[in-house]
Amino acid sequence: MDVEAKPVDAATRDAALDALKQIFGDRFTTSEAVRHQHGKDESYHTPMAPDAVVFAESEEEIARAVTVCNRLKYPVIPFGTGTSLEGHIGALRGGVSIDTSLMNRVLAVHAEDLDVTVQPGVTRKQLNEHLRDTGLFFPIDPGADASIGGMTATRASGTNAVRYGTMRENVLSLRIVTPSGEIIRTSRRARKSSAGYDLTRLFVGSEGTLGVITEITLKVYGIPEAISSAVCQFDTLEGAVDSVITTIHAGVPVARMELLDEVQMGACIEYSKLEGYEAKPTIFFEFHGSEAGVKEQAETVEGITGEFGGSSFQWATRTEDRNALWQARHDAFYAALAQRTGSQGWPTDVCVPVSRLAECIRETKKDIVESGLYAPLVGHVGDGNFHLVYIIDPENEEELSRAKAHSERMVHRALDMDGTCTGEHGVGYGKMPYLEQEHGPALNMMRSIKRALDPNNIMNPGKIVEI
């Protein structure tokens, strides 16, 4: 989607920046390099730098800043680590980027209740390092070492979602600075409640368009007694996908079930120096539980994969071997980029009901071949979600056009199968054109919510819904 910047007028901008400088002092900057960093995520979308960046240290500072910006109708773009994939942090109309990386404290660990409370700048790896000696861990793993605030704002998920769910299922409560500058708490720490509207779920996935997240209370889990990873390779992609579907139907509580097509697997073998594997459709499995439970899960799944032409499992039981295997999976994007010097990656994703997964992947792969594109496929296929990354020459307009056309066909295919235009990357402004088809009249209700909570349209304007 091509978006033209529509900045506020110079007088409003100058008044806002003067006020923000008074609040943040030397944590306010208009440095071109810092501004560029805060206007560019991991996507192919054109960088759109904010007018200034502020580094917040407290909820109160954010509330003061947002109050000023709301009075002046000046845009606010919350920023975590910048690892989003659909242009979420681009300052389409100028404004200030509020960076929460300095708000990086773990505030409370309630081990007996299996929950923790953190500031938004705490990263996924930092949280798990903090929890390591408690016997607990936080399972949501989108690959990047994203901030918990950003993961909440984008409703992130990742490789463990098939067993542990997404951020939607794992956020218990939030503190929010609303567009008016008010500070609210969306719920208490109780695991369930029937008390009023579910405001927590409203803000999870709102991508900074309804407020700034300043505190998150999360579910955490006991570290499993046994963890084992295995790799299974297939002669056909259909065999791999059918194995996934049958495993889900059998009710096996697999922790991770990651599909790599033959193109992506070949890139990972070369980039991550994976030995003993072939460039074939591959599934990475991980099993969590007791020693006996893991053994039973693995035997069941290995029996299923064998029925669909899968190889014998190649095991990674030592921690260092498992880490190397999953690091290779997380490095899939960089492995794909490395196959073409000077290229740029355009990641995208869709999600369909699991029963339609094989058909959607098959038609998407056929379309890739016919389009002449290099686009490796990976997937959190246990929940019907798969990703492509188009590896393109950024100077080749014709190639970019082919990638855009293919992406549009893939999205429409997923929607026709009663799926979604994005399983986990979020909307930003990159997926906005598809929301009308996906949501129909419900999109107007989203606009109504946006108008009601943010009447001056200051919160990350131009993302998710346009008003």
Q: If you write DSSP's letter for every residue of 242-271 in order, what string do you get? A: HHHHHHHHTT---SEEEEE-HHHHHHHHHH
d(CA 84, CA 140): 15
Looking at residue 1, its pLDDT comes to 44
List the domain boundaries for the chain.
106-222, 224-424
Looking at residue 144, its pLDDT comes to 86
Q: Which residues of the chain have pLDDT under 50?
A: 1-4
pTM for the full predicted model = 0.93
Looking at residue 318, its pLDDT comes to 84
Looking at residue 5, its pLDDT comes to 52
CATH 3.30.1280.10 fits 224-424, yes or no: no
d(CA 5, CA 134): 48
CATH number corresponding to 106-222: 3.30.465.10
